[in-house]
Amino acid sequence: QVHLVESGGGLVQAGGSLRLSCVASRGTFSLYTMGWFRQAPGKEREFVGQISWTEGRTRYADSVQGRFTVSRDNAKNSVYLQMNNLQPEDTAVYSCATPAAPYTDYVGDFAYWGQGTQVTVSS
Protein backbone atom coordinates (compact mmCIF):
# COMPACT_ATOMS: atom_id res chain seq x y z
CA GLN A 1 0.00 0.00 0.00
CA VAL A 2 3.03 2.25 0.55
CA HIS A 3 5.20 2.12 -2.56
CA LEU A 4 8.92 2.90 -2.51
CA VAL A 5 10.92 3.03 -5.75
CA GLU A 6 14.71 3.28 -5.81
CA SER A 7 16.92 4.42 -8.69
CA GLY A 8 20.48 5.52 -9.38
CA GLY A 9 22.41 2.30 -8.97
CA GLY A 10 25.08 1.16 -11.40
CA LEU A 11 28.69 0.14 -11.92
CA VAL A 12 31.46 2.35 -10.56
CA GLN A 13 35.20 1.99 -9.96
CA ALA A 14 36.63 2.00 -6.45
CA GLY A 15 36.93 5.56 -5.19
CA GLY A 16 34.00 6.75 -7.28
CA SER A 17 30.60 8.11 -6.27
CA LEU A 18 26.92 7.38 -6.83
CA ARG A 19 23.71 9.08 -5.71
CA LEU A 20 20.68 6.87 -5.06
CA SER A 21 17.11 8.17 -5.00
CA CYS A 22 13.93 6.78 -3.47
CA VAL A 23 10.43 8.13 -4.16
CA ALA A 24 7.60 7.28 -1.72
CA SER A 25 3.85 7.25 -2.40
CA ARG A 26 2.88 8.78 0.97
CA GLY A 27 1.14 12.14 1.03
CA THR A 28 2.31 12.60 4.64
CA PHE A 29 5.91 11.77 3.70
CA SER A 30 7.43 14.51 5.87
CA LEU A 31 6.18 12.86 9.10
CA TYR A 32 8.13 9.61 8.58
CA THR A 33 11.70 8.50 9.07
CA MET A 34 13.31 7.14 5.89
CA GLY A 35 16.13 4.62 5.86
CA TRP A 36 18.58 2.87 3.56
CA PHE A 37 19.61 -0.79 3.82
CA ARG A 38 21.78 -3.04 1.69
CA GLN A 39 22.16 -6.76 1.08
CA ALA A 40 25.06 -8.51 -0.65
CA PRO A 41 24.78 -12.08 -2.02
CA GLY A 42 25.01 -14.62 0.79
CA LYS A 43 24.85 -11.97 3.50
CA GLU A 44 22.17 -10.60 5.81
CA ARG A 45 20.51 -7.28 5.07
CA GLU A 46 22.28 -4.52 6.97
CA PHE A 47 21.42 -1.00 8.02
CA VAL A 48 23.20 1.78 6.12
CA GLY A 49 21.68 5.06 7.27
CA GLN A 50 18.50 6.97 8.00
CA ILE A 51 17.02 10.45 8.34
CA SER A 52 14.23 11.40 10.73
CA TRP A 53 11.11 13.52 10.20
CA THR A 54 13.15 16.55 11.21
CA GLU A 55 15.19 18.61 8.71
CA GLY A 56 16.76 16.24 9.87
CA ARG A 57 18.47 13.98 12.31
CA THR A 58 20.68 11.32 10.71
CA ARG A 59 22.27 8.05 11.79
CA TYR A 60 24.80 5.86 9.95
CA ALA A 61 26.41 2.46 10.15
CA ASP A 62 30.05 2.60 11.22
CA SER A 63 31.11 1.06 7.90
CA VAL A 64 29.82 4.05 5.88
CA GLN A 65 30.25 6.91 8.38
CA GLY A 66 32.06 9.79 6.72
CA ARG A 67 31.54 8.41 3.20
CA PHE A 68 27.74 8.23 2.81
CA THR A 69 25.15 10.98 3.39
CA VAL A 70 21.37 10.61 3.69
CA SER A 71 19.18 13.58 2.79
CA ARG A 72 15.52 14.22 1.96
CA ASP A 73 13.32 16.53 -0.09
CA ASN A 74 9.83 16.50 1.40
CA ALA A 75 8.35 18.49 -1.50
CA LYS A 76 9.36 15.62 -3.81
CA ASN A 77 8.55 12.75 -1.41
CA SER A 78 12.14 11.66 -1.90
CA VAL A 79 15.11 10.47 0.10
CA TYR A 80 18.67 10.27 -1.23
CA LEU A 81 21.86 8.39 -0.46
CA GLN A 82 25.05 10.10 -1.60
CA MET A 83 27.85 7.52 -1.66
CA ASN A 84 31.45 8.71 -1.94
CA ASN A 85 34.75 6.82 -2.00
CA LEU A 86 32.96 3.60 -2.85
CA GLN A 87 34.80 0.34 -2.21
CA PRO A 88 34.23 -3.21 -3.53
CA GLU A 89 32.77 -4.24 -0.16
CA ASP A 90 29.96 -1.72 -0.77
CA THR A 91 28.64 -3.89 -3.62
CA ALA A 92 25.05 -4.83 -2.78
CA VAL A 93 21.39 -4.25 -3.56
CA TYR A 94 20.38 -1.02 -1.84
CA SER A 95 16.79 -0.58 -0.64
CA CYS A 96 14.93 2.27 1.00
CA ALA A 97 12.47 1.71 3.84
CA THR A 98 10.02 3.52 6.11
CA PRO A 99 8.06 2.72 9.30
CA ALA A 100 4.31 2.16 9.44
CA ALA A 101 3.89 4.90 12.07
CA PRO A 102 5.09 8.51 12.06
CA TYR A 103 7.46 10.06 14.60
CA THR A 104 9.61 6.98 15.17
CA ASP A 105 13.27 6.48 14.28
CA TYR A 106 14.11 3.01 15.61
CA VAL A 107 15.63 0.58 13.09
CA GLY A 108 13.28 -2.18 14.24
CA ASP A 109 10.25 -0.10 13.22
CA PHE A 110 10.91 -0.18 9.46
CA ALA A 111 7.96 -1.91 7.80
CA TYR A 112 7.77 -0.95 4.10
CA TRP A 113 10.51 -1.71 1.59
CA GLY A 114 11.37 -0.91 -2.00
CA GLN A 115 12.56 -3.46 -4.56
CA GLY A 116 16.12 -2.17 -4.46
CA THR A 117 18.76 -0.93 -6.89
CA GLN A 118 22.04 -2.71 -7.65
CA VAL A 119 25.34 -1.02 -6.81
CA THR A 120 28.50 -2.72 -8.09
CA VAL A 121 31.96 -1.39 -7.25
CA SER A 122 34.91 -2.71 -9.24
CA SER A 123 38.58 -2.64 -8.28
pLDDT of residue 107: 86
Top mean pLDDT of 55-59, 65-69, 104-108 is at 65-69
pLDDT of residue 73: 95
pLDDT of 54 higher than 90: no
User: What secondary structure letter does DSSP report for 1?
Assistant: -
SS (H, E, C) 50-93: EECCCCCCEEECCCCCCCEEEEEEHHHCEEEEEECCCCHHHCEE
CA–CA dist 20, 37 (Å, integer): 12
Question: What are the pLDDT digits (tens) for 19-30?
Answer: 999 999 988 999
- Start-to-end Cα distance in the chain: 40
